[in-house]
Amino acid sequence: MGVSANREVCVGAGQCVLAAPEVFDQDDDGLVVVTAPDHPDDAAVRDAVHLCPAGAISHA
């Protein structure tokens, strides 16, 4: 449960890092890393999910 990311479909746009920098980062390959999976489902995380162009992140 919590915030999760699918690195297989990630396209490295960085939208999640801009929207919720305390929850998401990009590794050296530019792909998404979830740094705070237990982060509450707040507006920033919802923005990140909405803005991701590849549908790579979710909050369950």
Q: Which positions lie near other proteins, rule CB under 8 A? A: 9, 11-14, 17-19, 21, 25-26, 28-31, 47, 50-51, 53-55
Shorter beta-carbon distance to other proteins: residue 19 or 45: 19
Nearer to other proteins, 2 or 26 (CB): 26
CA distances from 44 to 8, 28, 29, 38, 47 (A): 23, 23, 24, 14, 5
CB of 4 to other proteins, least distance (A): 19
Backbone angles phi, psi at 16, to 5 degrees: -65, -35
